[in-house]
Structures are given as C-alpha cells and as structure tokens.
Chain A
Amino acid sequence: MTQARRCPRGSANEAASAARRIVPLVALLVIVLWGCSSKKPETNAGANAGSQPGLGQEGLGGTNGSSLSQFQKGTLGQGQGPLSDIHFDYDSYTVRPEDGDILRANADWLEKNPQAKVQIEGHCDARGSEEYNLALGARRAQAAKDYLQTLGIAADRLSTISYGKELPLCTEDTEDCYAQNRRDHFAVTQ
C-alpha cells in the first residue's frame, strides 16, 4: 500500500525551458510541469474533482475566426463572415451539386481578396463515434479544398481542420439539426 507521492520542486518555467528542445523526427518536445497541490481527501463517485491545476493551460487566442474560438467566446454560429458554409449528406463527404454555387462564390471572394487565407473546417452531426467523425470532418474539409483548388485558388491559401462532432450549431436529435451540423465552415485567417 505504501506509495511514495513526490512533488517536483523548483520553478516550472525553468524546468520547462531547460527541457525545451528540438528532437529530430519528433519535432517539438515540450515538457510542462504541473502545479503541485496536496492530495484532496477521499471523495465518493461523482463528487467534485480535485482542484489540481491541469496540464497545458493554453488555448486562448489562436485563429480568431475559427469555430473553436467562437465556441470559446460563446458566439458559435453567430455572424457568418464573408464566406458561406456548405453542407453534406449523412456519412458523406461528397460536395453536393447545389453547393457548387456557394463554393464558386467563395472562390470569387478569395480571388477579389488575394491576401486572404482560409481555414476550411469540417464538421459532423452527433451520430457515430467521435473519432470516426473527426476523420470524416477532415475528409469533408479536404473535399472543399480540392474543389476550391480546381477553381484556381492556390493550395497554400487553404488549410484544413476537422472538429468532428465537437462543435455543433444545434444540439437537438432531429434530422434538421443533424443536417445543419454536417457542414464545412470557411474561417478567414488573415
């Protein structure tokens, strides 16, 4: 039963910067030290979690127009921006014929704003495994990227990201709601 629980000493910043280095093939290896708090008394299931600081308190800021930063601000889905969303059928990543006009309009805007770069976000509805949906969202974002490239938009202006089913515009279990959530959103990044 005897379990030693040691608390790391010294400055977290010091340790973090000392440990920060580039490793070939591995890219950046960042070591972050947790804060160290005394162990909370035993609680039963479902009680509040310990107030121990968590790992990596990052995530503020970043891509301002992204759905994630909107979600952080509580404004997800408010204000469309200059580019319009397209939508997908269930478990599909094929651009619908009727959404071709939207993509052409988005391409026109990108041509008129040659400095602008766009992050294409793939989103999914609430059904199915989180991970499968994350991969499906990546595929949806790629589908729009491919389409915009065929319309002449340079690949280096188009990045992709998937949010899977994590950032729904609505949360009801209805076909209407699912259809709204199966989307590509186009976030202008600069």
Chain B
Amino acid sequence: MRALVIALMFTLLGLLAAPAIHAQVGSGPIKIQIVGAEQVSPIAVSDLKNLAGDDDHKVSTVFVDTLRRDLTLSGYFRLIDPASYIENAQSSGYDVGQFNFGDWSSLNAEFLVKGAVTRSAGKVQVEALLFDVGQQRRMMGRKFNGVPNEVSEMARRFADAVMEAVTGQKGPFATKMAFVGIRGSRFKEIYTSWLDGGTPVRLTDNPTINLFPDISGDGRHILYLSYKTMTPMLYLADTQSRTEISLAPSLGMAVGGVLTADGRIVAAYSRGGATNLYLLDSQGSELKSLTATHGLNVDPAVCANGSLLAFASDRSGDPQIYTMDLAGGSVHRITYQGNYNTAPALSPDCKKIAYESRIGGSFQILEISAAGGSPKQLTSEGNNQGPAWSADGRYIAFSSRRGGSAQIYLMLAADGRITGDLTKGEGDDTSPSLSAWVGE
C-alpha cells in the first residue's frame, strides 16, 4: 500500500516536472529542485543488540553505518538522527513485543530497523528486521551468516531488501562500481568499490593513463584501456583470479570498449583516422565489424538484458547517439537535439538511454527513450559526464565537477534529484561503471 502511494507520488511528480524539463532542452541550463519531504520517509536504524561476541560493537557499527548511508543514498529515506534515539538497543529486545513502538513513533519514525548480532570464532550472524512504526508491525526480516569482513555486504543486501519492502522494487546497493580515480598520484588508475563507494580497491598501478573501466554484470571482470605499454590497449582483468589478458586484434589503435551480457566485447579501434566498432570474442579476436564509416564511431554501450547497442557517431556531421541490434540489423539515429551528444548508457531493461549533451557551454546528462523521442534533461549544475545506470534502473551514477574536483554522484533517473555522492577522493574520480547484483 505504502509502496503504491510512493510510486504514485513519484509518477505525479514526474508528470509535473517533465513538461518544464522538456521545454528547457536546448535553451540553456535550468535548476531542477524536486526535493519534497513528502516523498522521503523518516526511518530510524537502531544499533544491533549484542547477543554474543560483539562487546566492542564493531559488527554493529559497520552494519548500521553502512545501512544508514545506503538508505540515505537511496533518496527514499531520511535518517532520524541516532543521537535522538530514546531506546537503549542493548537493554531492549529487537522483535515485536520486546520493545516499545512509542519510543520510535515519538521521533516521528515511519520505519524502524532493529536487529541483533552473534559473533563467535571468526563467524558472524546478523539478524535484521524492518518495522512499520505506525502499524506497529514487522514488515520484513533477514538473517545473514558470514565472516567479519562481510558485514558491510550484509548491510547492503539488507538495504536492498528494505527498499523492496517499502517501494516494491529491490534496491541497487549489493552491486559493484568500477571507476577512474586520481588518488595519491598524478595518474589515472582504475578502482573498484561497492556502488556506495565503500571498500575501494585499486586495480591498476602504472604511472601512465588508465581509462574507461567497464565492469561485468557479476562484478568479476573489468575491461579497461591503458597506456601501460605507452600505447593504448584494451585489457580484460579478472578480479577473482587476479589475472588479465591484453586484447590485440589487428584493428588499429584501441579507443575503448565494453563487455556484452554474454561475455563478448564491443570495442572501438582507430585506423587511418577513422574509428569504428567491432564485436570481439572474450579473448579479443574479431568476430564482426559493426560500423564502417570514415568518421568516428565511439562510446559503445550495451544493455544488460538484451542485445541492443548504443554508440556515438559523427556520421551526420556532429556527434549524435545511434542504436543498433548486436544480432544484426540497421542503425537508428536516436538524438536530434543539440550538436554534441556522446557517452550513451543503456538502462538495464534496454528502454532508456542516458547520455552527455553540450547545452550552452556546459555538459549535462540527458535521458531519452531507446526508441527515440524527446530528451529529458536530468542535470543542470556544473559539467556532468559519464552516466551509468544502476542495476535496478532507478538511478544514474555520473561524474561532476560541481564541487571543484570531479566526483561521482548518484541521482534518481526519474527526476534528476541527486541523492548523494559515491566518491570523495582527494583527486578526480570519474567514469563510473556499475555491475548487476553480485553474489547471486
């Protein structure tokens, strides 16, 4: 019921906002502010009750901090300040009948998360429960078993479950991100992390240039371009076996590439000034030539659940977005507004394309139907680049220089509302790529 109400509110807001946004495309940046308290539910996330072994509250702290961050990042919840909580999580129970809902309704909490932890001999069990405070009922519960360094992952899975219980659709937090970061040196390196930016791990370590990471659906493989041999080449890294191969089809200079859902590669190679797209197998052998123009065909993007390819091409005279079916078929031009449209990203259901467009003097993220039509402008502040869809199709990650340095932000695809930042590196973090749900 509540999910329906929230969904309805978003639909209504979308309808109200959409015409204004459409009208502004091409006529300069506009301010999009659709932040209404009415669509954001107040939620309390209590500390975990220590049943055994978590006397230092380390498990509780990691679980609760991660869950609080992800629920806030979702844009659907406002975290009630933990300092204001009345109840003591350790002295009260954590299931219905063992605590007082009045302690939470008096804080105006609409939802409440409580839980418990048992830790012994390197093993952790976390039980977490979601309550509807107004109805004083338990909505959902999950039990997680694992080792201590999996506790934040448990929290991300629980955040996804909370979103499913409240909005009817699973959240996107148990997914991985790959990105380019300048952190601790002058050089662009490839990093992986969780979607929320947690647990960043550096994948590359060479003082050259590393670009365009594309993470596989299962989060295991990363395709990227590197100058590590002083010449740009594509590499396919396996983060589990910690091996990588270099791709070297005799097609010219590597310009970029992405992994398809079935493990093949769509790559751009430049030869004689022209850049064209090719379908390669997972080892880098050419299977098929996809474009053959004298101009530039770049920024390939494939959709997670289909065979649609989107790309940018200057075949009309300036860069525009096109689609093509990987299985074969004709090329369709999608964008007609603006004269610099690049970096398409296909939504997981293959129905929408987010892309960069130069509007006035700045670059903004727009969204358009994969079948074409009128674009919708999602960002308006600063320069924004490199859109990537979340696994649930509700969010778009992108990099922006709005705060000075480039950082990666998350916004709701429905209305462009920014729900938070995914990175806070000391340098520039750009080029996000997002996986599907991992470990499932």
Contact = CB atoms under 8 A, between A and B. Distances in A.
A42 B152 contact: yes
8 contacts: A28-B246, A40-B199, A44-B65, A45-B197, A52-B202, A54-B190, A59-B206, A61-B230
The size class of the interface chain B forms with chain A is 35 or more
Contacts of A33: 242-243
Interface residues of A, number: 68
A162 interface: yes
Interface of A: 1-3, 8, 23, 25-34, 36, 39-50, 52-63, 66, 68-69, 71-72, 74, 91, 93, 127-132, 134-136, 138-139, 142-143, 146, 160-163, 166-167
B272 interface: yes
Nearest to A134: B255
B146 A1 contact: yes
Given A54-B203, A161-B253, A132 B228 contact: no
Contacts, number: 224
Contacts of A91: 318, 340
Contacts of B65: 44
Given A42-B198, A129-B299, A129-B356, A29 B423 contact: no
Nearest to B356: A129
Contacts of B286: 25
B394 to A, nearest CB: 19
Given A45-B197, A50-B200, A60-B207, 4 more contacts: A27-B250, A30-B246, A44-B198, A131-B298
B209 interface: yes
A59 B198 contact: no
Interface string B144-155: 111101111110
Contacts of B247: 26
Contacts of B181: 49
Contacts of B205: 53-57
Interface string B163-196: 0000000000000000001011010111101001
B237 interface: yes
Contacts of A62: 229-230
A179 B341 CA distance: 21
Q: Which 7 pairs across A and B sit closest by C-beta, in order of nearness?
A: A54-B205, A46-B424, A45-B197, A142-B273, A62-B230, A34-B242, A1-B146
